[in-house]
């Protein structure tokens, strides 16, 4: 299929990102997500486009050619470590387009990362793995009931997929949101540490909850769940449990 004909729904493209993988990156935010994490700071990534009433929340159809032209402009800034990160929403839900886009990135010498919740069929990981240099993989908690209560789905498939990725030798950075009232307790973090002890991720990162996305909920007519923002002492405590200090 022509690179102009295949399209994907994208709600944002962030250039010069320093938080979506190593180095300087261009992050493409794909629309659509099956999870409803109560602390999500990108609600525009799962609201249906017809509900948008504000110009800053737009879902646009991009062809592979259009996206490649955009990210290629940033190649001089990537250096040895940077590149393109496909995020969302959940970019893996548009897997056919994602695969073609990742292939084109590799043809152009661009490092590729996939930021995922892991809530997809494992066959999707098998599909994109050959063209993905790095996975940024969310682990929110280990207890299935707790995960379902706060995200809308349990995490059985998510944890199984992660095991599968490691068994195939994938390069993975684990990212753990730290959300008081959800997973910010010693018992859950000990479970996370025990689960990860059988693997060898490239890195493990804690992402403290923040309120930067709260204003979006109001603009979109959604109710925002307010969690406590963890202070530095709290973040350090959970880093120590994971052995990150």
Give the pLDDT confidence score for residue 88 in this predicted structure: 94
Q: Is the pLDDT of residue 102 over 90?
A: yes
Instruction: Record the pTM.
Output: 0.93
Give the pLDDT confidence score for residue 197 in this predicted structure: 95
Mean pLDDT (the chain) is: 93
pLDDT by residue (tens digit) across 153-182? Answer: 999 999 999 999 999 999 999 999 999 999
112, β-bridge pairs: 84
Give the pLDDT confidence score for residue 49 in this predicted structure: 53
Higher pLDDT, 219 or 238: 238
Give the pLDDT confidence score for residue 116 in this predicted structure: 98
Q: Using CB atoms within 10 A of its CB, is residue 72 exposed (0-12), middle (13-18) or buried (19+)? A: middle
Return the CATH class of domain 8-241: alpha beta
Q: Is the pLDDT of residue 203 over 80?
A: yes
Give the pLDDT confidence score for residue 54 in this predicted structure: 47
CB 99 within 8 Å of CB 41: no
Handedness of CA 187, 193, 195, 201 (dihedral sign): positive
pLDDT by residue (tens digit) across 6-51? Answer: 899 999 999 999 999 999 999 999 999 999 999 999 999 987 655 4
Question: What single-letter DSSP state applies at residue 212?
Answer: T
Q: Where are the domains of the chain?
A: 8-241
Which of 106, 104, 71, 84 is CA-nearest to residue 23?
84
Q: How far apart are CA 167 and CA 172, in angstroms?
A: 11
């Amino acid at each position: 299929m022509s690179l102009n004909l295949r399209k994907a729904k994208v709600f944002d493209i962030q250039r010069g990102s320093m938080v979506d993988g190593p180095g300087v990156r261009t992050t493409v935010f794909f629309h659509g997500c099956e999870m409803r994490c109560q602390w999500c700071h990108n609600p525009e990534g799962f609201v249906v486009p017809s509900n948008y009433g504000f110009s800053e929340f737009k879902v646009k159809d991009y062809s592979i050619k259009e996206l490649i032209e955009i990210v290629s402009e940033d190649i001089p800034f990537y250096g040895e470590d940077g590149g393109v990160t496909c995020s969302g929403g959940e970019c893996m839900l548009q897997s056919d387009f994602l695969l073609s886009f990742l292939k084109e990135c590799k043809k152009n010498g661009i490092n590729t990362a996939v930021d995922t919740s892991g809530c997809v069929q494992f066959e999707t990981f098998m599909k994109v793995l050959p063209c993905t240099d790095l996975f940024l993989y969310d682990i929110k908690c280990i207890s299935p009931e707790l995960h379902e209560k706060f995200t809308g789905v349990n995490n059985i498939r998510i944890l199984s997929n992660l095991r599968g990725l490691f068994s195939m030798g994938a390069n993975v950075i684990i990212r753990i949101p730290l959300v008081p009232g959800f997973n910010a307790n010693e018992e859950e973090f000990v479970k996370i540490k025990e689960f990860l002890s059988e693997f060898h991720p490239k890195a493990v990162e804690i992402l403290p909850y923040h309120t930067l996305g709260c204003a979006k909920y109001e603009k979109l007519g959604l109710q925002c769940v307010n969690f406590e923002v963890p202070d530095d002492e709290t973040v350090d405590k959970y880093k120590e449990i994971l052995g990150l200090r």
